[in-house]
Amino acid sequence: MASDNQKSELNRDKAQQELAELRQLINHHNSLYHQYDAPEIPDADYDKLFDRLLLLEEQFPELVTPDSPSQRVGDAPLDSFKQVTHDTPMMSLSKVFNDQDLADFEARILKRLDSEEVPRYSCEPKVDGVAVSLLYEHGLLVRGATRGDGVTGEDITHNVKTIRNIPLRLNDNKKHPVPDRLEVRGEIVMTRSGFAATNEKASNTEGGRTFVNPRNAAAGTLRQLDPRIAAERPLHFFCYSAHVSTSADEGVDKAADSNWPDSHSGSLELLGQWGLPLNPERDVVTGYQACLDYANELLAKRDSLDYEIDGAVIKVDNIRLQQELGSNARTPRWAMAYKFPAEEASTTVNDVEFQVGRTGTITPVARLEPVFVGGVTVSNATLHNMDEIARLGLRIGDRVILRRAGDVIPKIVKVMEMTAQADTEALPGKSDQLERREVVMPSICPACDSPVEKDGEVLYRCTGGLVCPAQRKESLRHFCSRAAMDIEGLGEKLVEQLVDANLVHTVADVFTLSKEQLLSLERMGDKSADNLLNAINKAKATTLPRLLFALGIREVGEATALALATHFGSLEKLMQASEEELVQVEDVGPIMAAHIAHFFANEENDKVIADLRERGVTWPEHESQTVSDELAGQTWVLTGTLETLTRDEAKARLQALGAKVSGSVSKKTSVVVAGPGAGSKLDKATELGVKVIDEQELLAMLGEQAG
Ligand code: IVH
């Protein structure tokens, strides 16, 4: 048997070997990220490698080497840019991931300060961009630099000067004159909207390079030698600290400057007065619990901000206390980053399957090794169409970067390079390596074996129509849904059963179902069958807009269905309308008009409508006058999350009262309906003095109570 001593020797040898491998890997990814703006693995994977390194080094401090990545912040800058030495090193932040970690942070602070007085904290968004330092001499911007390895960065003055919210000269202030030499720090971001536009432009340009996320886009832009590129891109700066010194080599404490505010938040206000852009979401609170509340509120707002954030930064506000607490090698003891769930993660594509939609469109869907991203576990991602697969260069078995940010639909943004795919084998939760296979569009429909046809440039469609059970299921699910015929209890599971048992062929067959037929279905009891029949019966009395929406005409959503009903008044008139007449309807363009005309020209659809009537479905004529003029001439804007109504419902209801519903706030806006997470539109409304109401008030106005 090995002695304890021998065992620990063994562990130590193993650790030494793992540490060497980890350092090599981390250095590799560090340089891809910092030097080439071309990361191959998501931040979360990099963090796991780094955390493992820190853990092993903590267990075996004697194995820490001076060149370990733990001993510095980033990586050396490229040779093509001039190097810049920061007046004081740019530090990093320790991270916490949960409430307890933050409580521990405060406990450590109190212990170190030997105090019981709960500190005040400056709370700020952790802006997910590129860290930069701006040097102002006698108020004039003389240099902009990246963080680089924290001590030395790259000179990007030419690009920084193109960013419109970075002042080239600071405003002087009699009471608080701008120091002779001021180093300002902050984060440069590309806005989300600007990112989408930048990528759109790049994808339409021959050889144009698209970026994986706004941060890479900002980094890629700042690393351009030609400032004209940066000048065209929507970059934005948020300032988060400043350092004062009398000369480059002689660092002077800002607290020693009697004129300098004694708090971090006070410093920020002063920087704001000098003209530097501050983050509007910042706040000052007392105690860690209030910091948690701040972080949760910020998280709720995350998706509505036009720039990306990856957490909250919590800083002890009092500068004297900051100095008393001091710093470790890489991080200050007085600040913490409270990280939000990562919006990117890597996973494996186990398979690609083909889904058939309501109108027969065939969509490739990636079946993924389940992965936690953006706060939820994701196991599927739509790939949209074959072009998207080609653009990504995706094959089954590939390791990919999945992103779930802002919107709720997860998206594969990148196939990882082979080297990175091999690297991440060391990561936990990795699936076994699959053999890589090309993705091929099937020539026959996976649901009904009918031939698959190409439709336009990128789409493929099953030609089976009503023969195809997948199309029938999708149409039926849509037909029964709440905003359509609203048949309570007829959900996804039952739709599957009804179509598989051949009890429902067209949507009109719902109204022929008998109790015996329902009882023949698995898990259908007497009571449930009665309830369902009642719900079906109740749904027979419907309205023209609901019916039109339920029929599932391509591109016709709730708002268009209402507009069509209002314009034509009756189904007969709509069915007879020509495409020229259809485009007269508000929001109906030529493509939609063609879809509508095509739908009614199809005999099978006419038969469904005749069957619906025959089986007792009724809808009163939709008199144009039913659109009240209560809100005529008004323009409404919806922003944030609505909890009772869907956006489309709210829009349709407001339009029915004669209002226009617009996407942006201006002086002409009559009312803004703001739900949780409302952001810039709400700010603008407040700024312009536009009336703002919440969903409860909207419901009350519409004559409804929230459920
Ligand atoms: S303070 C000593 N405040 O987060 C404190 N950093 O690891 C140093 N960051 O890349 C930073 N938003 O650029 C601070 N409000 C904020 C921040 C922030 C983003 C970045 C910083 C650095 C990383 C810290």
Instruction: Report yes or no: 336 and 96 within 8 Å, Cβ to Cβ.
Output: yes
Query: Is 92 near ligand 1, meaning CB less than 6 Å away?
Result: yes
Going by pLDDT thresholds of 50, 70 and 90, the confidence category of residue 684 is confident
Task: Specify the residue with its C-alpha closest to ligand 1, atom 9.
Answer: 126
Q: What angle do CA 452, 456, 458 make, to 5 degrees?
A: 80
HSE (side-chain half, CA atoms, 13 Å) at 69: 24
pLDDT in tens, 594-627: 999 999 998 989 999 999 999 999 998 876 545 6
Structure tokens at 536: 């079906």
Query: Is 91 near ligand 1, meaning CB less than 6 Å away?
Result: yes
75-89, 382-396, 457-471, range with the lowest pLDDT: 75-89
pLDDT in tens, 473-507: 999 999 999 999 999 999 999 999 999 999 999 99
Q: What contacts 516, CB < 8 A, 6 or more positions away?
A: none
Query: Is 429 near ligand 1, meaning CB less than 6 Å away?
Result: no
Indicate if the pLDDT at residue 24 is higher than 70. Answer: yes
Query: Is 127 near ligand 1, meaning CB less than 6 Å away?
Result: yes
Mutate to test the pocket of ligand 1, among 121, 126, 278, 298 (most ligand atoms within 8 A of CB): 126
**Across-strand partners of 239?**
186, 278
Indicate if the pLDDT at residue 2 is higher than 60. Answer: no
Query: Is 46 near ligand 1, meaning CB less than 6 Å away?
Result: no
User: Whose CA is closest to 637, among 606, 657, 664?
Assistant: 664
37-51, 134-148, 556-570, range with the lowest pLDDT: 37-51
Going by pLDDT thresholds of 50, 70 and 90, the confidence category of residue 63 is very high
* Predicted TM-score (pTM) above 0.75: no
Mutate to test the pocket of ligand 1, among 313, 325, 330 (most ligand atoms within 8 A of CB): 313
| pLDDT for 250 | 39
Mean predicted lDDT score pLDDT of the chain: 88
Mutate to test the pocket of ligand 1, among 147, 149, 187 (most ligand atoms within 8 A of CB): 187
Token pair 């600007």 in the structure block, residue = 194
Query: Is 335 near ligand 1, meaning CB less than 6 Å away?
Result: yes
Indicate if the pLDDT at residue 120 is higher than 50. Answer: yes
Measure the CA–CA gap between 422 and 404, rounded to whole angstroms: 24
pLDDT in tens, 382-396: 999 999 999 999 999
> For the purposes of burial, counting CB atoms within 10 Å of the CB of 400, is it exposed (0-12), middle (13-18) or buried (19 or more)?
buried
Token pair 């990007």 in the structure block, residue = 156
**Across-strand partners of 133?**
145, 185
Going by pLDDT thresholds of 50, 70 and 90, the confidence category of residue 412 is very high
| pLDDT for 429 | 43
Helix (H) or strand (E) holding 527: helix 526-539
Token pair 């022929």 in the structure block, residue = 512
Indicate if the pLDDT at residue 557 is higher than 60. Answer: yes
Write the DSSP symbol of residue 396: B
Indicate if the pLDDT at residue 705 is higher than 60. Answer: no
Going by pLDDT thresholds of 50, 70 and 90, the confidence category of residue 359 is confident
Instruction: Report yes or no: 237 and 129 within 8 Å, Cβ to Cβ.
Output: no
**Across-strand partners of 377?**
372
Task: Specify the residue with its C-alpha closest to ligand 1, atom 14.
Answer: 240
- Residue, of 652 and 10, whose pLDDT is higher: 652
**Is 161 designated active site?**
no
| pLDDT for 525 | 94
Task: Using the Cα atoms of residue 626, residue 628, residue 633 and residue 638 in order, give the sign of their dihedral.
Answer: negative
Closest ligand 1 atom to 282 CA: 15
Indicate if the pLDDT at residue 75 is higher than 50. Answer: no
Beta-carbon neighbour count of residue 2 at 10 Å? 9
Indicate if the pLDDT at residue 69 is higher than 80. Answer: no
Residue 338: helix, strand or coil by DSSP?
A: strand
Cα–ligand 1 centroid distance for 94 (angstroms): 10
Beta-carbon neighbour count of residue 79 at 10 Å? 9
Instruction: Report yes or no: 329 and 85 within 8 Å, Cβ to Cβ.
Output: no
pLDDT-above-90 percentage for the chain = 60
Measure the CA–CA gap between 244 and 88, rounded to whole angstroms: 9
DSSP 605-631: HHHHHHHHHHTT-B-----GGGS-STT
| pLDDT for 678 | 80
| pLDDT for 257 | 60
Measure the CA–CA gap between 190 and 201, rounded to whole angstroms: 15
Closest ligand 1 atom to 331 CA: 2
Secondary structure of 85-132 as H, E, C letters:
ECCCCCCCCCEECCHHHHHHHHHHHHHHHCCCCCCEEEEEEEECCEEE
Helix (H) or strand (E) holding 291: helix 288-301
Q: What contacts 564, CB < 8 A, 6 or more positions away?
A: 545, 548, 556, 574, 585, 588, 596
Query: Is 494 near ligand 1, meaning CB less than 6 Å away?
Result: no
61-65, 75-79, 128-132, 334-338, range with the lowest pLDDT: 75-79
Marked catalytic residue, from 14, 126, 430, 527: 126
Task: Specify the residue with its C-alpha closest to ligand 1, atom 21.
Answer: 131
Average pLDDT over every residue of 318-344:
93
Q: What angle do CA 629, 633, 639 make, to 5 degrees?
A: 105
Report strand pairing: 95-96 vs 335-339: parallel
| pLDDT for 625 | 44
Average pLDDT over every residue of 646-653:
81
Q: What angle do CA 226, 228, 231 make, to 5 degrees?
A: 125
Going by pLDDT thresholds of 50, 70 and 90, the confidence category of residue 310 is very high
Indicate if the pLDDT at residue 449 is higher than 80. Answer: yes
Going by pLDDT thresholds of 50, 70 and 90, the confidence category of residue 423 is low
pLDDT in tens, 261-294: 999 999 999 999 999 999 999 999 999 999 999 9
- Residue, of 661 and 449, whose pLDDT is higher: 449
User: Whose CA is closest to 382, among 399, 357, 358?
Assistant: 357
- Residue, of 690 and 252, whose pLDDT is higher: 690
Going by pLDDT thresholds of 50, 70 and 90, the confidence category of residue 631 is confident
Instruction: Report yes or no: 462 and 452 within 8 Å, Cβ to Cβ.
Output: yes
| pLDDT for 435 | 74
Query: Is 93 near ligand 1, meaning CB less than 6 Å away?
Result: yes
Report phi then psi at 157, rounded to 5.
Answer: -50, -45
Query: Is 310 near ligand 1, meaning CB less than 6 Å away?
Result: no
Average pLDDT over every residue of 100-109:
95
pLDDT in tens, 196-254: 899 888 878 877 778 888 999 999 999 888 888 888 899 999 999 998 865 444 334 55
Cα–ligand 1 centroid distance for 273 (angstroms): 21
Token pair 């080239």 in the structure block, residue = 168
Structure tokens at 527: 């009571």
Measure the CA–CA gap between 644 and 345, rounded to whole angstroms: 32
Cα→Cα distances 676→153, 385, 646, 673, Å = 40, 34, 14, 10
Instruction: Report yes or no: 172 and 156 within 8 Å, Cβ to Cβ.
Output: no
199-213, 422-436, 536-550, range with the lowest pLDDT: 422-436
Measure the CA–CA gap between 489 and 497, rounded to whole angstroms: 13
| pLDDT for 361 | 93
Measure the CA–CA gap between 524 and 518, rounded to whole angstroms: 7
Measure the CA–CA gap between 425 and 384, rounded to whole angstroms: 28
- Residue, of 51 and 642, whose pLDDT is higher: 51
Average pLDDT over every residue of 139-151:
91
Query: Is 124 near ligand 1, meaning CB less than 6 Å away?
Result: yes
Structure tokens at 254: 């800002």
Instruction: Report yes or no: 368 and 380 within 8 Å, Cβ to Cβ.
Output: yes
Average pLDDT over every residue of 497-525:
95
Secondary structure of 352-380 as H, E, C letters:
EEEEECCCCEEEEEEEEEEEEECCEEEEE
Cα–ligand 1 centroid distance for 61 (angstroms): 27
Report strand pairing: 452-455 vs 411-415: unpaired
Average pLDDT over every residue of 290-305:
93
Cα–ligand 1 centroid distance for 131 (angstroms): 7
Cα–ligand 1 centroid distance for 93 (angstroms): 7
| pLDDT for 174 | 86
Measure the CA–CA gap between 549 and 560, rounded to whole angstroms: 8
Going by pLDDT thresholds of 50, 70 and 90, the confidence category of residue 546 is very high
